[in-house]
A and B are shown apart, each in its own frame.
Chain A
Amino acid sequence: MNDMTPSPGFDVDRIRADFPILRQTVRGKPLVFLDSAASAQKPVAVIEAMKTAMETQYANVHRGLHWMSERTTEAYEAARDAVAALMNAPDRHEIVFVRNSTEALNLVAHSYGRHLLRPGQAVLISAMEHHSNIVPWLMLRDSHGIELRVAPISDAGELDMAAFEALLEDGKVGLVSITHMSNVLGTYTPAERIARIAHAHGAKVMFDGSQAIVHRAVDVQAIDADFYAWTGHKLYGPTGIGVLWARRELLERMPPFLGGGEMISSVSYERATWAAVPHKFEAGTPAILEGIGLKAAIDYVRAIGYPAIAAHEAALTEHALASLSAIEGLRILGAAQDRGGVVSFALDRAHAHDVATLLDRFGIAVRAGHHCAEPLMHRFGLESTARASFGVYTTQAEIDTLATALVRVREFFA
């Protein structure tokens, strides 16, 4: 995936035309949306798929014996097939629909953590995790006696692989749970190598792929992962739907997370038995329209193609790193060799919130704050940064607009 040559089929103007919101102006200026890592904008294909479903083909799924329910169930389950194909999952029943990555991580912490990890075992994360891959493990530690270990990162923002392996040496780590791409530093972690080392020490391995799957193809079999979580709204899909993929034998052994309708085989006042996977983990009416929207998003991304997306974003990132690092007093966090389209930075003269408010005046949307990664901020001696993040629709001209505006912001605080 290191091919830097944009695919001849990649036409950013044509792609931008697919995103109606990009025609909006903000404060009288064209919207420069550089906050896709928080949530991406939606192509018309996604908007139309959800609208069409509501207008022509909608009922509850899996339970109606009528035509509308059957058609809706087919459309919803087609999303599961699309997800399985996207991740190269060997079995569509390994795709569990959840609300978002946070819910996927909590599902694993509750179900796998409380029932298949023993008190005294450890969970190993990295020093560049989102709070969603920290807090569930703190809760598991406090409720279940699990030790939480944190693998350090270098100043460049790369996982310290020697330290990572050393933390596995005593054999107590039952689960490694690590980001596949940092939402702050943009660093890709070496997933295949992490999985190989984790397995060699008897640990299962989970990846938080919320950022990674937006920018490059994810193959859970090639990685040899045990769990992989991601969320739809960062992949140009709707909010409210995310994915947990896990090996079937693990899902079979794990008890349900939530109880209710849809997830049972039979219920009496004495006992309930569980539905087969994945439905065992999908209590209640699912996010039907969002599933349909997610399939449209996956189809959209696959039509562009990951090699083209990765090449486009690699070029953007290279351009952003060069333009921003040329600005006096601007510090970019992290310098990983393998990184995606996320650049966090701090200005010497201005707090990140002031930077974001001033950039907003130019119509530029960036995120400012701790990015739900407080320990990582502290690792770099900061409380907050501003972050520009890129999507398929981001242009080099938008990055130039950002760089020019940042020079003005710094002058403003002179």
Chain B
Amino acid sequence: MSGGLDDLRDLYQDVILDHGRHPRHGHRLATFDASAKGDNPMCGDRVEVFVRHAPDGTIAETGFDARGCAISIASADLMAETVTGKRPDDARALFAAFRDLVRTGACPACDAALADPLERLAPLAGVHEYPSRVKCATLPWHALIAALDGAQEASSE
């Protein structure tokens, strides 16, 4: 059988395969200030995100407990990495930019202040070519934003 999987490297880059298999933040936090669940009823993916705040209100640590595909686990892990040290509003802005990235493959209107974390999240941009998989990448972010908003459950898109 010829070809096939090599061109899938646009979707499954090494960063995604690595973080999908060995997430660094894939655990419940021992102490946390907020948490929320997200679930995708279409496919059965579930995630619960835990957030601990620093005294100044920034995000000190994020952890998650997830059942899902490589895309969703890697996305949750890269999310946890990139929102650390951010104020909740900055995390919301980052999600808005990330959502543009995974839906369109680009984020032309994105704030230069987000350039660094977006570069870290860029391996997920390939998802835009797979519309049915976009939700895999955004589900953990929905749960994070719900936790920051004080909600228990992420509302679905």
Residues in A lying within 8 Å of B, measured CB to CB = 29, 350-354, 357-358, 361-362, 368-370, 374, 377, 383-384, 401, 404-405, 408-409, 412-413
Judging by beta carbons under 8 Å apart, are A351 and B11 in contact? no
Contacting residue for A412 out of B1, B8, B42, B46, CB 8 A: B8
Show 24 A/B contacts (Cβ-Cβ < 8 Å), sorted by A. Answer: A29-B4, A350-B70, A351-B70, A352-B69, A353-B45, A353-B68, A354-B12, A354-B71, A357-B130, A358-B5, A358-B8, A361-B8, A368-B43, A369-B43, A369-B44, A370-B43, A383-B44, A383-B68, A405-B1, A408-B1, A408-B4, A408-B5, A413-B17, A413-B70
A311 to B130, CA, bound (A): 38
Distance in Å: Cβ of A408 to nearest Cβ of chain B:
6
Determine whether the beta carbon of B4 is less than 8 Å from that of A384. no
Q: Is A362's CB under 8 angstroms from B1's CB?
A: yes
Given A353-B45, A362-B4, A412-B5, list of 16 further CB < 8 A pairs?
A351-B70, A353-B68, A353-B133, A354-B12, A357-B133, A358-B8, A361-B4, A369-B42, A369-B43, A370-B43, A377-B44, A383-B44, A383-B46, A404-B1, A408-B4, A408-B5
Q: Within 8 Å CB of B27, what residues of A?
A: none
Q: Determine the residue in chain B with the shortest Cβ distance to A28.
A: B3
B67 part of interface (Cβ distance < 8 Å): yes
A330, B12: Cα distance in complex, Å:
21
Minimum Cβ distance to chain A for residue B57 (Å):
35
Q: Which residues of A contact B21 (CB under 8 A)?
A: 413
**B101 to chain A: which residues have CB within 8 Å?**
none
Chain A proximity of B4: nearest CB distance (Å):
5
Select from chain B the residue with minimum beta-carbon distance to A349: B21
Interface SS of chain A: helix, strand, loop or mixed?
helix
Query: Judging by beta carbons under 8 Å apart, are A354 and B69 in contact?
Result: yes
List residues of B (5-25) whose CB comes within 8 Å of A's CBs: 5, 7-8, 11-12, 17, 21
Q: In the complex, are the beta carbons of A351 and B69 less than 8 A apart?
A: yes
Q: How far is the CB of A157 from chain B (nearest CB, A)?
A: 19
Which of A361, A383, A405 sits near B45, CB closer than 8 Å?
A383
**B136 interfacial by beta-carbon distance below 8 Å:** yes
- Residues of A near B67 (CB, < 8 A) are 383
A350 vs chain B, min Cβ distance (A):
7
Among A354, A370, A405, contact of B4 (Cβ-Cβ < 8 Å): A405
The distance from the CB of B19 to the nearest CB of chain A, in whole angstroms, is 13
Taken together as a complex, chains A and B put the C-alpha atoms of A383 and B71 apart, in Å, by 16
Closest residue on chain B to residue A368 by CB atoms = B43
List A contacts of B136 (CB < 8 A): 353
A357 touches which one: B11, B17, B45 (CB < 8 A)?
Answer: B11
A332 to B5, CA, bound (A): 24
The 9 A-B pairs with the shortest beta carbon distances in the complex, nearest first, are: A351-B69, A353-B69, A370-B44, A383-B44, A369-B43, A361-B4, A354-B69, A354-B70, A384-B44
A369–B132 Cα gap in the complex (Å)?
12
Bound form: Cα–Cα A352–B43 in Å: 10
Q: In whole angstroms, how far apart are the Cα atoms of A78 and B71 in the complex? A: 50
Q: How far apart sit A29 and B7, CA to CA, in the bound complex (Å)?
A: 14
Contact pattern, B 38-56, Cβ under 8 Å of A = 1, otherwise 0? 0000111110000000000
Q: Which residue of A lies closest to B5 (CB)?
A: A412
Q: Report which residue of B8, B130, B133 has the largest number of chain A beta carbons within 10 angstroms of its beta carbon.
A: B8
Report how far A350 CA is from B136 CA in the complex, Å: 14
A412 and B12 in contact, given A361-B4, A361-B5, A405-B4 (Cβ under 8 angstroms): yes
Q: With both chains docked as a complex, state the minimum distance between the C-beta of B62 and any C-beta of chain A, in angstroms.
A: 22
* Residues of A with C-beta under 8 A to B70: 350-351, 354, 413
Cα of A29 to Cα of B2 in the assembled complex, Å: 10
B residues less than 8 Å from A29 (CB atoms): 4
For A377, list chain B residues within 8 Å (CB). Answer: 44
Measured between C-beta atoms, what is the minimum distance from A271 to chain B in Å?
42
| Set of chain B residues within 8 Å of A384, measured between Cβ atoms | 43-44
Q: A361 to chain B: which residues have CB within 8 Å?
A: 4-5, 7-8
Q: Which residues of chain B are near A350, meaning CB under 8 Å?
A: 70
CA distance A350 to B12 in the complex (A): 12
Whole-angstrom distance between the alpha carbons of A405 and B45 in the complex? 24
**How far, in Å, is A359 (CB) from chain B's closest CB?**
9
**How far is A383 from B40 in the complex, measured between Cα atoms in Å?**
12
